[in-house]
Every structure is written in C-alpha cells, then in structure tokens.
Amino acid sequence: MHHIIPHGLHHSMTRNRKSSPERPPQQPQEDERAITARRDEEKHALAQWEAEKHPMGYDEILVDPNDKPVGHSRKYLRSEDFDLIKTLGTGTFARVWLSRLRDAKGPDGDKVFALKILRKVDVIRLKQVEHVRNERNVLAAVAGHPFITTLVASFQDHDSLYMLLDYCPGGEVFSYLRRARRFNEATSQFYAAEIVLILEFLHEQQGVAYRDLKPENILIDAEGHLKLVDFGFAKKVDDRETYTLCGTPEYLAPEVIRNTGHGCAVDWWAFGILVYEFLVGQPPFWDQNPMKIYEQIVAGHLRFPSAMSPAARSLISALCTVDVSKRLGNIKGGASAVKSHPWFKDIDWDELYYRRVPGPIVPHLRGPADTRNFDEYEDENPEREEYSAELRDKHEDAFRDF
C-alpha cells in the first residue's frame, strides 16, 4: 500500500508569533489542537457522506454549495490523511487513485474514494488552468446528482490539487460494450435514459455543455447505475456560443468541426452517436484518418443496420441532425422532447432518477475496494518538475477555488 508523502503542513499550522509577544506559551499548542480538531471534523464529514449518500433531488442540489454535504473546498484536509491503494487511471496531468482515509476505525475503514491528483506545474505547463478550474466548479455545483460523479471535497497543498470523488467499482461502460460487442435494446434504453437525465440537468439547470460524451467517460457504480466522469471539457455556456475545438473525433458535432460556434446542442449530437454505438457496437462515423471522420460527420449521412428498430433509427436521426436548429434536444421542449420520444415510452423517469429501477449490469464485486474492473498502470515517475516560487507567484491565485 502506498501513501502520499506529507506536504506543507508547516505553512498552514504556523502563526505570526512576533506580533503577540505577551501571548502565553501554550497558545500555539491550542491553535494546533484547534486545527487538528477541524481536520478531524472534515475527515468525519467525508466518511459520513459515504455512509449516508442518497440521490439528491433538484431542491437539494440547487442550493448554496456551502449548504450541501458535498462539493466543498476543504481547508484543513491534507494528502497524508489518505492511503493510496491503486491507480485507477492516468492522464497527461492527473492520476486517479483508489484511496481510503488513513487510520480510519470500524466501518469507516471500509469506505473508499477515487482521489484525483493534479500537479500544479503540469496543469500550468499544459495550459489547462481554466479547464481544471471549470471542472472543479462544475462538479461542486452538480454534486449530489445521482448519475454524475460526486465531488465529495477538494483541497490542495503547495504543489498539487486534489479532487476527492466517489468510487465506481464497475469500471467503464466502454469495457462492457466491447465484451458484449453491442448492448440489447433494453440495456441501451436504460443507460441512454440515465444520460438524458444528466444532460437535462447540466443544460437546463446549470447552462453547462459537457462536450466529451463517450463510453470511456461513463462508469458503472456498485449498483449498476451510470456515473458521468471527467468534466475537464465541461463549460458553463448558458445561451452563448463557444469556439474551442475539444472532444473525441467520432463524437464531435458538425458545428465544432466547422468552428461556427457551439453550445449545449453538441451534447445531443454526441448522445445520438452514443446510442448508435450502444446498439451497433461502433460509432456511425469512423475511419483511421480523423480528417475522413470529420468529412463524414459534416455530411451527416447515417446508415443503419437492418436489425435496428424504427424507433431507435428515428431517435438517432433526430439527434444527429446537422442543422442545429432542428436537432432533437435543442428544439422547443429541450430534454422533455427527447424524453417523450417513442423509443423511451417504457421509461418511468421519476423512478429512474431516484435509482429505484435496477441496473441491467450489476458488477460482481469482492468488496468496496475491488479494482478488478480497472487496468494496471505503471508507477508514477518520481522525477517531476518543481513548482517554483516564480510559478507560484504568477499562478497560485488561479487555484484559490480548491
């Protein structure tokens, strides 16, 4: 079992003692005890959420973030409060670890989390500061939604940012899809319906475009429900348009490729591609050359297998409409128009939102810390660039939200 090397406690626990020479000598110790007590309170809050978590309704999510049990920036939590068990995933500037609270006693010892660690120097070098801030702030705003990864807490130390997320032991939907080759209609409808509820909430309650919908970014939790993860491209756009080229080639909407400006409608296009991939086993537009993929997308000619149901064809065609003004999800009615489509006629949306409908694939697990559904990763390179005083002076303020 690995653990994070302690960082930066000295800075947060010292006081300017020269300004109060008359203070009794035991006062600094009392300050340290107070800090330790607050730190213990924060750790207890994490364990309490994991024990009591439940699907939160809009009235619980759409409140002041300070009034929610999750999504907070924690000022006293430290990296050494966690044991790192195994790497769950890596990226160009982040690594996600299965973790648990260190020295947790009793039932708290079984509670595990996914801890995303981002090195500040890498975030800056790769010009990802704004994306990382967007990710943290969007996740805080949506924390508690039943099908979005829960940001339990965020914190930082002198050279790293931390996002503590709920752990989904089922792994990626992508892995199940590849093993099954394709999902049957009922399984596809179930997963698609949960994604509709995600997009409805992000677009209509938050004004957020997700912009990277694909099977690799959807995990399955212990009960067989979906969790959308990786909000690095998510952006609050409201009714405005944005022009950043981001996403995965097979899932890009035509307006992103043409760089004519895009908004939340890109997610409904990607959703149509996703439903097609669930049912067929591969996306409708594909080529080894990404430029060929882009040409196919902009042309927008869909070809359906003969076995696909008419209702599924109708839904995908309405979602993958090149003309944004005619695209299902972006036309009058928004997400409600998608939910009313005949392909979803058997879905009880309220029962689904509150997770009262069993998932079609429930992972077989040995326990809460089972990692069999995740790949093996090489150890982290111990040699990394230093977060210098110069970088800190220039960029530290950008990380204040953590």
Instruction: Tell me whether residue 166 is one of the annotated catalytic residues.
Output: no
329, 182: one domain:
yes
Whether 335 maps to a domain, the answer reads yes
88, 178: one domain:
no
> Residue 189 — very low, low, confident or very high, per pLDDT cuts 50/70/90?
very high
Q: Was 116 annotated as part of a binding site?
A: yes
User: Is 94:132 a contact under the CB 8 Å cutoff?
Assistant: no
103, 217: one domain:
no
Q: Which of 265, 246, 268, 267 is nearest to 257 (CA)?
A: 246
Domain holding 346, by residue range, is 173-353
What CATH number does the domain containing 269 carry?
1.10.510.10
347, 272: one domain:
yes
What's the CA gap between 29 and 13, in Å, rounded? Answer: 10
- Based on the structure, what is the number of domains in the chain? 2
Range in 35-49, 123-137, 261-275, 363-377 the model is least confident about: 35-49
Q: What is the pLDDT of residue 30?
A: 53
> Residue 29 — very low, low, confident or very high, per pLDDT cuts 50/70/90?
low
123, 200: one domain:
no
Whether 391 maps to a domain, the answer reads yes
On the question of pLDDT at 4 being above 60, the answer is no
What's the CA gap between 88 and 377, in Å, rounded? Answer: 8
Start-to-end Cα distance in the chain: 27
On the question of pLDDT at 2 being above 80, the answer is no
35, 114: one domain:
yes
What CATH number does the domain containing 103 carry?
3.30.200.20
On the question of pLDDT at 109 being above 80, the answer is no
On the question of pLDDT at 211 being above 70, the answer is yes
347, 389: one domain:
no
pLDDT tens, residue by residue, 350-400: 999 999 999 999 999 998 899 999 999 988 877 778 888 899 899 889 898
What's the CA gap between 51 and 342, in Å, rounded? Answer: 38
> Residue 265 — very low, low, confident or very high, per pLDDT cuts 50/70/90?
very high
Catalytic residue among 212, 221, 230, 267: 212
On the question of pLDDT at 275 being above 90, the answer is yes
11, 23: one domain:
yes
Whether 360 maps to a domain, the answer reads no
On the question of pLDDT at 257 being above 60, the answer is yes
131, 199: one domain:
no
316, 223: one domain:
yes
340, 242: one domain:
yes
Whether 362 maps to a domain, the answer reads no
**Average per-residue pLDDT for the chain:** 88
